[in-house]
Amino acid sequence: MRRAFTLLEVIVALAIFALAAVVLGSAYVNVLMAYESVQRGNQVDEDVRFARAQLLAEPDHDKAETGADFVSPGGRQVKWHATIETTTMADLFTVTFVCELAGDAAGGAAQTVTENFTLMRPTWAAPTENTKLKQDAQDRIAKLQGKEKQTP
């Protein structure tokens, strides 16, 4: 006597197979979306890195504050500018760097990246203010070493 699968067994097997196919398909789509997201994030990082390099290479204080704009290799419009403030040390500045990235054709949203850092830039310093800051630093060092100026 030949034995075969019943209709119920075949339907259960097909349901299990369909469920496995849906789970594997959705996992595959999630992996593809994650790759795309990482790639888009890398492009944003590269654009911000290039804009920051432009700021760091700019020897003129006013041009550095004004900033610039460019079109990235991915076709995204990028604008940057900086707010530069002097510190109590000569040639040292606190910088607030703002990079604005427009949305791209692939559906990426517009983004604004803000970074704060400290830079040593002798070319950005005003000569009179810089001289005073250097003299103040020399006076502080002399005081710490016990070599204060003697006033008559």
Residues 113 and 122: their CA atoms lie apart, in Å, by 26
Residue (of 108, 109, 48) closest to 82 by Cα position: 48
Domain for residue 124, yes or no?
yes
Phi, psi of 72 (to 5 degrees): -75, 165
Give the residue numbers spanning the domain of 79: 7-144
Cβ atoms within 10 Å, residue 95: 20
Q: What is the pLDDT along the chain (152 residues), one digit of tens a residue?
A: 778 889 999 999 999 999 999 999 999 999 998 888 777 778 888 899 999 999 999 999 999 999 999 998 878 899 999 999 988 888 889 999 999 998 766 666 788 999 999 998 888 888 788 788 888 888 888 888 887 655 54
Domain for residue 35, yes or no?
yes
Domain for residue 133, yes or no?
yes
Domain for residue 151, yes or no?
no
Domain count, the chain: 1
The structure tokens 């310093």 sit at 125
